[in-house]
Chains A and B, each alone.
Chain A
Amino acid sequence: NAGVMQNPRHLVRRRGQEARLRCSPMKGHSHVYWYRQLPEEGLKFMVYLQKENIIDESGMPKERFSAEFPKEGPSILRIQQVVRGDSAAYFCASTGTGGWGYTFGSGTRLTVV
């Protein structure tokens, strides 16, 4: 399967814990995007990364959220000290050069209890 791989599919965390969401882009893609979908809402852009660089983080909350896309390995979206309002579906997408060929992963459903 050469698609965008996200894991885990479902993640349950207690308030105050850390959540780590992983995304491996489609083969040949070097651009990764994270989106958040709150219940009953469309997807909202969070951050755009290329290898080792954050290109646009205009949609990231200023505190507790961070993202990276290291030279080796998957992109990671980290949420520290999770709160109930962080419960959402988090989607990763990847594109090739030029930003086209958008392909989404299956998402990670985060539930904070």
Chain B
Amino acid sequence: AQKITQTQPGMFVQEKEAVTLDCTYDTSDPSYGLFWYKQPSSGEMIFLIYQGSYDQQNATEGRYSLNFQKARKSANLVISASQLGDSAMYFCAMRGARAGGSNYKLTFGKGTLLTVNP
């Protein structure tokens, strides 16, 4: 079974500053993928960034980077130079990487509500 824990129900950050959203995971799968999604107040799920468990480097996508520490089972999202439009719920998720069946479903954490202050 897979489990995602996001311990920060809410976070505040000043515009233009960086913020880190925490995510720890637990799995027995030898290979897996980690995802971050953004859910603004409009409700859609927006894919931000992906990290494979065997990727040598931390993933980056524009202002988003993933601080992946495999030994600690953590996959924190770092948002640099926060913007007002970054205010949203952020979800960490994972899935197994082996082919087939139940490995394809995503397991989500409960989310962190980020508020960017002007």
Contacts and interface: CB of A to CB of B under 8 A. Distances in A.
B43 A43 contact: no
A106 B95 contact: no
A33 B45 CA distance: 14
A82 B53 CA distance: 40
Contacts, number: 62
Interface in A31-78: 31, 33, 35, 40-45, 48, 55-56, 58-59
Contacts of B110: 40-42
A98 B99 CA distance: 6
Interface in B96-114: 99, 101-111
A45 B4 CA distance: 13
A31 B104 contact: yes
B35 A102 contact: yes
Interface residues of B, number: 22
B91 interface: yes
A48 B108 CA distance: 16
Given A42-B91, A99-B95, A91 B108 contact: no
Contact of B106 (A43, A58, A98): A43
A89 interface: yes
Nearest to A9: B43
Nearest to B33: A100
A55 B44 CA distance: 25
B113 to A, nearest CB: 10
Contacts of A48: 101-102, 104-105
Contact of A102 (B44, B102, B106, B107): B106
Interface of A: 31, 33, 35, 40-45, 48, 55-56, 58-59, 89, 91, 93, 95, 98-99, 102-104, 106-107, 109
